[in-house]
């Protein structure tokens, strides 16, 4: 059975999956270190969680993950305040993108920098702390889109999430003989502020249900997990094995 991780750091915690996971972990009595660009949202979340769950410590700090030096500073400051960081969830990310060659390199570059380069900085900062402690659990939030190259607006996004998954697996390979655990999570369609602005997507689950499933998977500390497991484990197999022409039609 996986050990209890008491002090949990979550990036991109001011909305969406990060905010939802923070609520779930607080309800389990875990201390939280939450960071994001929108510090006003973090302060509101801190007040809500501490009121609902007395005894839970919630620390918040502003962080733009594309400011790489700031990533290390914020992670180290949280470590100093809490004494130990038991789990880091690399969650901050960006979903925008445009078809390649359509004149929107700026949008694709921003997605690539946020979802991969900034994630690399977060992994470096987290594993630096874990190596010094000789303990910890690194979790990266990838995406089901990482299973395959995807067309149109998803091309760059899918590539960054595949890159993050490969990065996380490489870190896991490097740490196999240590007490440090490493997990890659592949979320399916979970409703967030961004997704709620568009038409309802087939197979989408609500935010609360999706975040409960995410936290349950993270608590098991597997090498990797599709979330929710049904139907996304099966969908993942299909995406990896179907002809590319079929994948192009479904995405």
* Unique residue bearing structure tokens 């709620």: 196
Asked if 157 is an active-site residue, the reply is yes
Q: Which residues of 57-79 are buried (b: 16+ CB within 10 A; e: fewer)?
A: bbbbbebebbebebbbebbeebb
In a 10 Å sphere around its CB, with 0-12 CB exposed, 13-18 middle and 19+ buried, how is residue 106 labelled? exposed
Cis peptide upstream of residue 116 (ω within 30 degrees of 0):
no
Cis peptide upstream of residue 228 (ω within 30 degrees of 0):
yes
CATH number, domain 7-250, options 3.40.120.10, 3.40.50.720, 3.40.50.410, 3.40.190.10 = 3.40.50.720
Confidence (pLDDT) at 196 = 46
List the catalytic residue out of 157, 186, 189, 238: 157
Question: Mapping DSSP to helix (H, G, I), strand (E, B) and coil, where does residue 141 land?
Answer: strand
Quote the mean pLDDT of the chain.
94
In a 10 Å sphere around its CB, with 0-12 CB exposed, 13-18 middle and 19+ buried, how is residue 37 labelled? middle
- Annotated domain spans of the chain: 7-250
Per-run averaged pLDDT (10 residues), the chain, 251 residues:
88 96 98 97 98 97 98 98 98 93 96 98 98 98 95 95 98 97 95 56 83 97 95 92 89 62
Q: Report yes or no: 44 and 70 within 8 Å, Cβ to Cβ.
A: no
């Amino acid at each position: 059975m996986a050990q209890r991780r008491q002090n949990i750091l979550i990036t991109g915690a001011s909305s969406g999956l990060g905010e939802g996971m923070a609520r779930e972990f607080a309800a389990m009595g875990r201390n939280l270190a939450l960071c994001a660009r929108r510090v006003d949202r973090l302060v509101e979340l801190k007040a809500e969680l501490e009121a609902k769950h007395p005894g839970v410590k919630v620390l918040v700090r502003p962080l733009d993950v594309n400011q790489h030096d700031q990533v290390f500073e914020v992670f180290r400051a949280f470590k100093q305040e809490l004494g130990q960081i038991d789990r880091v969830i690399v969650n901050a990310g960006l979903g925008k993108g445009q078809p390649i060659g359509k004149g929107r390199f700026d949008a694709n570059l921003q997605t690539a920098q946020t979802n991969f380069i900034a994630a690399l900085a977060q992994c470096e900062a987290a594993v630096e702390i874990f190596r010094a402690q000789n303990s910890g659990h690194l979790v990266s939030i990838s995406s089901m889109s990482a299973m395959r190259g995807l067309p149109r607006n998803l091309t760059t996004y899918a590539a960054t999430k595949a890159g993050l998954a490969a990065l996380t697996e490489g870190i896991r390979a490097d740490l196999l003989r240590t007490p440090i655990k490493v997990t890659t999570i592949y979320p399916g369609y979970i409703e967030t502020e961004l997704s709620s602005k568009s038409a309802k997507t087939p197979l989408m689950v609500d935010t609360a249900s999706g975040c409960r499933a995410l936290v349950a998977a993270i608590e098991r500390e597997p090498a990797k997990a599709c979330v929710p497991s049904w139907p996304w484990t099966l969908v993942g197999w299909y995406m990896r094995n179907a002809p590319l022409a079929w994948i192009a039609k479904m995405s």
